[in-house]
A and B are shown apart, each in its own frame.
Chain A
Amino acid sequence: MMAGEKKEQGTSALHVTDGNKHVVGLKALRVHISPDGGAWFAQGLEVDYAAVGKSIDEAKNNFKSGLSKTIREHLRMHGTIEKLLQIAPQEAWSEFFSASEEGSLKLSFSMLDVHDLTPKPETSGKKTAFPFDKILFVEPEPAHVK
Protein backbone atom coordinates (compact mmCIF):
# COMPACT_ATOMS: atom_id res chain seq x y z
CA MET A 1 0.00 0.00 0.00
CA MET A 2 1.32 3.50 -0.87
CA ALA A 3 1.90 6.06 1.86
CA GLY A 4 -1.25 8.13 2.43
CA GLU A 5 -3.39 5.65 0.53
CA LYS A 6 -6.69 5.03 2.26
CA LYS A 7 -7.29 1.39 3.06
CA GLU A 8 -10.78 0.37 2.06
CA GLN A 9 -12.58 -1.71 4.70
CA GLY A 10 -14.45 -4.65 3.25
CA THR A 11 -17.85 -5.65 4.55
CA SER A 12 -17.91 -8.86 6.52
CA ALA A 13 -20.41 -10.95 8.44
CA LEU A 14 -19.84 -13.33 11.30
CA HIS A 15 -22.05 -15.98 12.86
CA VAL A 16 -20.94 -18.06 15.83
CA THR A 17 -23.31 -20.49 17.46
CA ASP A 18 -23.32 -22.63 20.57
CA GLY A 19 -26.55 -24.60 20.77
CA ASN A 20 -29.37 -22.08 20.98
CA LYS A 21 -27.04 -19.14 21.57
CA HIS A 22 -25.98 -17.15 18.53
CA VAL A 23 -23.58 -14.25 18.07
CA VAL A 24 -23.98 -12.36 14.80
CA GLY A 25 -21.69 -9.57 13.68
CA LEU A 26 -21.84 -7.29 10.67
CA LYS A 27 -18.85 -5.08 9.90
CA ALA A 28 -18.64 -2.04 7.63
CA LEU A 29 -22.05 -2.48 6.02
CA ARG A 30 -22.76 0.56 3.85
CA VAL A 31 -26.05 2.30 4.62
CA HIS A 32 -27.47 5.11 2.53
CA ILE A 33 -29.83 7.44 4.39
CA SER A 34 -31.77 9.70 2.03
CA PRO A 35 -34.69 12.11 2.47
CA ASP A 36 -38.10 10.84 1.41
CA GLY A 37 -40.91 13.37 1.66
CA GLY A 38 -40.78 14.55 5.25
CA ALA A 39 -39.04 11.37 6.44
CA TRP A 40 -35.73 9.52 6.02
CA PHE A 41 -35.14 6.20 4.29
CA ALA A 42 -32.18 4.01 5.28
CA GLN A 43 -31.08 1.38 2.75
CA GLY A 44 -28.37 -1.20 3.41
CA LEU A 45 -26.24 -2.03 0.36
CA GLU A 46 -24.31 -5.23 1.05
CA VAL A 47 -27.36 -6.48 2.96
CA ASP A 48 -30.70 -5.64 1.38
CA TYR A 49 -32.48 -4.30 4.43
CA ALA A 50 -34.29 -0.96 4.74
CA ALA A 51 -35.88 1.16 7.46
CA VAL A 52 -37.63 4.51 7.82
CA GLY A 53 -37.64 7.28 10.42
CA LYS A 54 -38.99 10.77 10.94
CA SER A 55 -35.43 11.96 11.63
CA ILE A 56 -31.99 10.67 10.66
CA ASP A 57 -31.51 9.34 14.19
CA GLU A 58 -34.85 7.52 14.14
CA ALA A 59 -34.02 6.01 10.72
CA LYS A 60 -30.67 4.79 12.13
CA ASN A 61 -32.31 3.36 15.25
CA ASN A 62 -35.09 1.66 13.27
CA PHE A 63 -32.48 0.22 10.90
CA LYS A 64 -30.49 -1.19 13.80
CA SER A 65 -33.46 -2.58 15.76
CA GLY A 66 -35.29 -3.87 12.67
CA LEU A 67 -32.18 -5.60 11.34
CA SER A 68 -31.65 -7.17 14.74
CA LYS A 69 -35.25 -8.49 14.77
CA THR A 70 -34.77 -9.72 11.19
CA ILE A 71 -31.59 -11.57 12.16
CA ARG A 72 -33.48 -13.18 15.05
CA GLU A 73 -36.23 -14.36 12.65
CA HIS A 74 -33.59 -15.83 10.31
CA LEU A 75 -31.98 -17.68 13.21
CA ARG A 76 -35.36 -18.89 14.47
CA MET A 77 -36.48 -20.11 11.03
CA HIS A 78 -33.22 -21.37 9.51
CA GLY A 79 -30.55 -21.39 12.23
CA THR A 80 -28.31 -19.31 9.95
CA ILE A 81 -28.09 -15.82 8.43
CA GLU A 82 -27.15 -17.10 4.96
CA LYS A 83 -30.41 -15.97 3.35
CA LEU A 84 -30.00 -12.49 4.86
CA LEU A 85 -26.77 -11.89 2.97
CA GLN A 86 -28.32 -10.63 -0.26
CA ILE A 87 -27.13 -7.36 -1.77
CA ALA A 88 -29.51 -4.48 -2.49
CA PRO A 89 -30.99 -4.12 -6.01
CA GLN A 90 -29.16 -2.14 -8.69
CA GLU A 91 -31.46 0.87 -8.18
CA ALA A 92 -30.25 1.28 -4.57
CA TRP A 93 -26.58 1.12 -5.63
CA SER A 94 -27.13 3.67 -8.42
CA GLU A 95 -28.83 6.01 -5.98
CA PHE A 96 -25.96 5.56 -3.50
CA PHE A 97 -23.25 6.40 -6.05
CA SER A 98 -25.12 9.30 -7.64
CA ALA A 99 -26.26 10.93 -4.37
CA SER A 100 -24.63 14.18 -3.31
CA GLU A 101 -22.94 14.37 0.08
CA GLU A 102 -25.12 17.30 1.22
CA GLY A 103 -28.55 15.81 0.56
CA SER A 104 -27.99 12.38 2.07
CA LEU A 105 -25.81 10.42 4.45
CA LYS A 106 -23.48 7.53 3.64
CA LEU A 107 -22.63 5.53 6.71
CA SER A 108 -20.56 2.52 7.58
CA PHE A 109 -22.60 0.39 9.96
CA SER A 110 -21.30 -2.32 12.28
CA MET A 111 -23.15 -4.33 14.89
CA LEU A 112 -22.64 -7.27 17.18
CA ASP A 113 -25.83 -9.01 18.22
CA VAL A 114 -26.39 -11.80 20.71
CA HIS A 115 -29.51 -13.97 20.41
CA ASP A 116 -30.52 -16.65 22.88
CA LEU A 117 -33.18 -18.84 21.29
CA THR A 118 -33.46 -21.23 24.22
CA PRO A 119 -37.19 -21.99 24.67
CA LYS A 120 -38.56 -20.34 27.78
CA PRO A 121 -39.66 -22.87 30.43
CA GLU A 122 -43.42 -23.37 30.75
CA THR A 123 -44.92 -22.22 34.02
CA SER A 124 -46.53 -25.67 34.50
CA GLY A 125 -49.96 -24.45 33.47
CA LYS A 126 -50.04 -21.71 36.09
CA LYS A 127 -51.11 -18.41 34.71
CA THR A 128 -49.01 -15.52 35.87
CA ALA A 129 -51.40 -12.86 34.61
CA PHE A 130 -54.97 -12.19 35.64
CA PRO A 131 -57.42 -14.49 33.84
CA PHE A 132 -59.41 -11.46 32.65
CA ASP A 133 -58.47 -8.37 30.75
CA LYS A 134 -60.16 -5.63 32.70
CA ILE A 135 -60.52 -4.72 36.33
CA LEU A 136 -63.78 -3.01 37.14
CA PHE A 137 -63.84 -0.87 40.23
CA VAL A 138 -67.25 -0.86 41.87
CA GLU A 139 -68.13 1.99 44.15
CA PRO A 140 -69.81 0.76 47.37
CA GLU A 141 -73.40 1.90 47.67
CA PRO A 142 -74.25 3.83 50.81
CA ALA A 143 -75.99 1.65 53.40
CA HIS A 144 -79.71 2.25 53.78
CA VAL A 145 -80.60 3.17 57.33
CA LYS A 146 -84.17 2.77 58.43
Chain B
Amino acid sequence: MAGDQVPLKDVLQVLKLAPTAANVRIAISGNTVTLVKDGVPEVIDLIDPVPRKMLRRFAYKYGIPIEYFFHIEMVIRGSKKRQ
Protein backbone atom coordinates (compact mmCIF):
# COMPACT_ATOMS: atom_id res chain seq x y z
CA MET B 1 0.00 0.00 0.00
CA ALA B 2 1.53 3.31 -1.05
CA GLY B 3 2.50 5.82 1.62
CA ASP B 4 1.46 6.29 5.21
CA GLN B 5 -0.51 9.49 4.81
CA VAL B 6 -3.23 10.65 2.44
CA PRO B 7 -3.89 14.25 1.28
CA LEU B 8 -6.78 15.83 3.18
CA LYS B 9 -8.71 16.61 -0.02
CA ASP B 10 -8.67 12.91 -1.00
CA VAL B 11 -9.81 11.84 2.48
CA LEU B 12 -12.68 14.35 2.41
CA GLN B 13 -13.68 13.16 -1.07
CA VAL B 14 -13.74 9.53 0.08
CA LEU B 15 -15.82 10.47 3.12
CA LYS B 16 -18.24 12.34 0.82
CA LEU B 17 -18.52 9.68 -1.87
CA ALA B 18 -17.88 6.30 -0.26
CA PRO B 19 -20.95 4.18 0.34
CA THR B 20 -21.47 3.85 4.08
CA ALA B 21 -23.78 1.69 6.12
CA ALA B 22 -27.28 3.00 6.73
CA ASN B 23 -26.44 3.65 10.39
CA VAL B 24 -23.51 5.99 9.53
CA ARG B 25 -23.90 9.68 8.67
CA ILE B 26 -21.04 12.01 7.75
CA ALA B 27 -20.99 15.82 7.61
CA ILE B 28 -17.99 17.89 6.51
CA SER B 29 -17.28 21.53 7.25
CA GLY B 30 -13.83 22.78 6.26
CA ASN B 31 -11.37 20.31 7.78
CA THR B 32 -13.82 19.27 10.51
CA VAL B 33 -15.65 15.99 10.06
CA THR B 34 -18.69 14.93 12.06
CA LEU B 35 -19.38 11.21 11.97
CA VAL B 36 -22.46 9.69 13.55
CA LYS B 37 -22.83 5.93 13.99
CA ASP B 38 -25.95 4.47 15.63
CA GLY B 39 -26.71 7.95 16.98
CA VAL B 40 -23.24 8.35 18.54
CA PRO B 41 -21.52 11.49 17.22
CA GLU B 42 -17.81 12.19 16.94
CA VAL B 43 -16.27 15.46 15.73
CA ILE B 44 -12.70 15.34 14.41
CA ASP B 45 -10.45 18.18 13.22
CA LEU B 46 -8.27 16.72 10.47
CA ILE B 47 -4.83 17.83 9.32
CA ASP B 48 -3.26 17.73 5.86
CA PRO B 49 -2.07 15.06 5.12
CA VAL B 50 -4.14 12.67 7.23
CA PRO B 51 -2.01 10.05 9.02
CA ARG B 52 -2.69 6.34 8.68
CA LYS B 53 -3.86 5.69 12.25
CA MET B 54 -6.81 8.04 11.73
CA LEU B 55 -7.68 6.25 8.47
CA ARG B 56 -7.57 2.94 10.33
CA ARG B 57 -9.96 4.43 12.86
CA PHE B 58 -12.38 5.40 10.07
CA ALA B 59 -12.14 1.80 8.86
CA TYR B 60 -12.78 -0.07 12.10
CA LYS B 61 -15.24 2.38 13.59
CA TYR B 62 -17.25 3.45 10.54
CA GLY B 63 -16.65 0.59 8.12
CA ILE B 64 -14.94 2.66 5.40
CA PRO B 65 -12.34 0.32 3.86
CA ILE B 66 -8.83 1.76 4.29
CA GLU B 67 -8.00 0.86 0.66
CA TYR B 68 -10.48 3.52 -0.48
CA PHE B 69 -8.24 6.28 0.91
CA PHE B 70 -5.22 4.99 -0.99
CA HIS B 71 -7.15 4.26 -4.20
CA ILE B 72 -9.58 7.14 -4.47
CA GLU B 73 -10.30 6.27 -8.13
CA MET B 74 -12.20 3.17 -6.89
CA VAL B 75 -14.55 5.41 -4.92
CA ILE B 76 -15.04 7.91 -7.76
CA ARG B 77 -15.78 5.09 -10.23
CA GLY B 78 -18.25 3.50 -7.82
CA SER B 79 -19.95 6.80 -7.19
CA LYS B 80 -20.37 7.47 -10.94
CA LYS B 81 -21.84 3.98 -11.44
CA ARG B 82 -24.39 4.56 -8.67
CA GLN B 83 -25.45 7.81 -10.31
User: Which positions in A face B, CB cutoff 8 Å?
Assistant: 34, 36-39, 41, 43, 49-54, 58, 62, 65-66, 69-70, 72-74, 77-78, 83-84, 86, 89
Instruction: Give Cα A34–Cα B54 distance, bound, in whole angstroms.
Output: 12
By a CB distance below 8 angstroms, the chain B residues around A51 are 44-45
* B-side interface residues, number (CB < 8 Å): 22
B41–A77 CB distance below 8 A:
yes
Can you list, as one digit per residue, whether each of B4-37 has a CB less than 8 Å from chain A (1) or not (0)?
1100000000000000000000000000101010
Interface SS of B by simple majority:
strand
Q: Does B53 contact A (CB under 8 A)?
A: yes
Q: Does B72 contact A (CB under 8 A)?
A: no
B41–A52 CB distance below 8 A:
no
A83–B51 CB distance below 8 A:
no
By a CB distance below 8 angstroms, the chain A residues around B57 are 50
Interface residues of B in 20-79 (CB under 8 A from A): 32, 34, 36, 39-47, 49-54, 57, 60
B51–A52 CB distance below 8 A:
yes
B54–A41 CB distance below 8 A:
yes
Instruction: Give Cα A58–Cα B47 distance, bound, in whole angstroms.
Output: 10
B53–A66 CB distance below 8 A:
no
One of B39, B42, B51 near A41 (C-beta < 8 A)? B51
B52–A37 CB distance below 8 A:
yes
B51–A36 CB distance below 8 A:
yes
Known pairs A51-B45, A52-B50; list 9 more (Cβ under 8 Å): A37-B52, A49-B42, A50-B57, A52-B46, A52-B53, A69-B32, A73-B43, A83-B40, A84-B40
Instruction: Give Cα A43–Cα B50 distance, bound, in whole angstroms.
Output: 15
By a CB distance below 8 angstroms, the chain A residues around B45 are 51, 62, 65-66
Using A37-B4, A50-B57, A53-B47 as known contacts, say yes or no to A70 and B52 having CB atoms under 8 A apart. Answer: no
Instruction: Give Cα A55–Cα B40 distance, bound, in whole angstroms.
Output: 28
By a CB distance below 8 angstroms, the chain A residues around B40 are 74, 83-84, 86
B34–A73 CB distance below 8 A:
yes
- B70 CB to closest chain A CB (Å) equals 13
Instruction: Give Cα A77–Cα B40 distance, bound, in whole angstroms.
Output: 9
Instruction: Give Cα A7–Cα B13 distance, bound, in whole angstroms.
Output: 48
